[in-house]
A and B are shown apart, each in its own frame.
Chain A
C-alpha cells in the first residue's frame, strides 16, 4: 500500500528513455525506406513521388509481405522497371494499377478498391468497433445496476 515514492521514479525515467529510443529507432526505419530502389532518373519531383508512392502500394507477389519498394527479388526489380517505364510514358496512376491487376489480380493492391466483394474487409474493423462499444455499454449498465 505505502510504496515509497522515490523508488518509483527511476522506473519512470526508464520508461522515458525507452520511449525516446523507440522514437529514434522508428525514425531510422522510415529513413531506410528508399534504399531498395535503383537509381532511376526522373524528369521532376512529381514523377519521382508517383514512382515512390506506387511502388509502396503495390505488393511483390514473390515475397508477399513486402511491397515493390521493399523487395530485392528479381521480379520486383522487373516490375519496378516496368513501373518506371510507364511513368516515363506518361501513363496515369489508375492505368498503372490496372496494368498490375490485369496480370496479377487485385491481390497486388495493398489498398484494395471498395467494392461489393471487399465490403467486409473495409467495414469489418468498424463493425468490430461497434460490437466492442455495445458490449462495453451493456457491461457498464449491468455493473451500475448491481451497485
Chain B
C-alpha cells in the first residue's frame, strides 16, 4: 500500500515545486547586473535640450547620483513617471535622465506632456553607452555613489515599494558621501 503511494507523493512534490516557482517566475526573467559594485562605465553623451553640450560621467563624481533610463516609446516609463518625479524632488541628489534609443522630438514632446522629472539629461540615440551599462530594457534605474561606483540597479517601473527602497538606499549613499 505504501509503495503505491510513492508515485503520488512524487507527483504532489512536483506540483508543490511548480506552484512555488510561479511566484518567482517574473523575478527570474530579471538579469542580475554584473556591474553592481563596479565603477560606472564612462560615457560622454549629448544633452536633450542642448545637443551641443556633452555631459560625461566625470562631472557627477564626488556626490551620489541617480541614472534613470527611459524613452518616449516605453509605456512602463509613463507608469513610473510620478515616482521618478518624486525621486527628482525628494532624493536631494542629481537625477540624470538617460534617454535611450529615442527621437529627440518625441522625447521633448513626451516631457511637454508628462513633465520633466529629471535634473539633467543625456541622450543615447545609438545605444552604445547603454550596452556598456548593461541596459536591456527601459525603465532601469541605477544608484551610483560619490566614488562613481554602481551600488544598485532596479529593472522595471518604480512603484511605491521600489520608491521606498530606493529612498532608503539613497539616504545611505548620501550619509556615506558626507562622512568621507
Report if A102 contacts B (CB, 8 A).
yes
Binary flags per residue of A90-131, CB closer than 8 Å to B gives 1, else 0: 000000000001111101000000000000000000000000
Q: What is the bound-complex CA distance between A107 and B28, given in angstroms? A: 11
Q: How far is the CB of B122 from chain A (nearest CB, A)?
A: 17
Residue of B34, B101, B126, B133 near A105 (CB, 8 A) is B34
Asked whether, in the complex, the Cβ of A102 is within 8 Å of the Cβ of B127, the reply is no
Report if A52 contacts B (CB, 8 A).
no
A103 and B31 in contact, given A75-B127, A75-B136, A82-B131 (Cβ under 8 angstroms): no
B residues near A107, Cβ cutoff 8 Å: 31-32
Tally inter-chain residue pairs, CB-CB below 8 A: 40
Asked whether, in the complex, the Cβ of A101 is within 8 Å of the Cβ of B137, the reply is no
Report if A79 contacts B (CB, 8 A).
yes
Asked whether, in the complex, the Cβ of A104 is within 8 Å of the Cβ of B29, the reply is no
B residues near A139, Cβ cutoff 8 Å: none
Asked whether, in the complex, the Cβ of B127 is within 8 Å of the Cβ of A62, the reply is no
Q: What is the bound-complex CA distance between A75 and B31, given in angstroms? A: 15
Q: What is the bound-complex CA distance between A61 and B32, given in angstroms? A: 11
Interface of B is mostly: loop
Report if B128 contacts A (CB, 8 A).
yes
Of A79, A82, A103, A107, most B-chain CB atoms within 10 Å: A103
Asked whether, in the complex, the Cβ of B101 is within 8 Å of the Cβ of A103, the reply is no
Report if B76 contacts A (CB, 8 A).
no
Report if B93 contacts A (CB, 8 A).
no
Give the residue name and chain of the A residue nearest to B28 (CB). A64
Interface of A is mostly: helix
Report if A6 contacts B (CB, 8 A).
no
Q: What is the bound-complex CA distance between A82 and B135, given in angstroms? A: 14
Report if A74 contacts B (CB, 8 A).
yes
Report if A78 contacts B (CB, 8 A).
yes
Q: How far is the CB of A60 from chain B (nearest CB, A)?
A: 9
CB-CB contacts below 8 Å: B33-60 with A: 33-35
Q: How far is the CB of A64 from chain B (nearest CB, A)?
A: 6
B residues near A61, Cβ cutoff 8 Å: 31, 136-137
Asked whether, in the complex, the Cβ of B32 is within 8 Å of the Cβ of A103, the reply is no
Q: How far is the CB of A98 from chain B (nearest CB, A)?
A: 11
Asked whether, in the complex, the Cβ of A103 is within 8 Å of the Cβ of B137, the reply is no
A residues near B35, Cβ cutoff 8 Å: 103
Q: How far is the CB of A71 from chain B (nearest CB, A)?
A: 11
Q: What is the bound-complex CA distance between A75 and B71, given in angstroms? A: 13
Please give 17 more A-B residue pairs, beta carbons under 8 A apart, in addition to A64-B29, A104-B134: A61-B136, A61-B137, A62-B137, A74-B127, A75-B127, A75-B137, A78-B101, A78-B127, A79-B131, A82-B131, A101-B34, A103-B35, A103-B131, A103-B132, A104-B33, A104-B136, A105-B32
7 A-B pairs in the complex with CB atoms less than 8 angstroms apart: A78-B101, A78-B127, A82-B128, A82-B131, A103-B132, A105-B32, A105-B134
For the complex of A and B, the 8 pairs showing the least CB-CB separation, nearest first, are: A61-B136, A103-B134, A78-B127, A105-B34, A107-B31, A104-B134, A61-B31, A62-B136
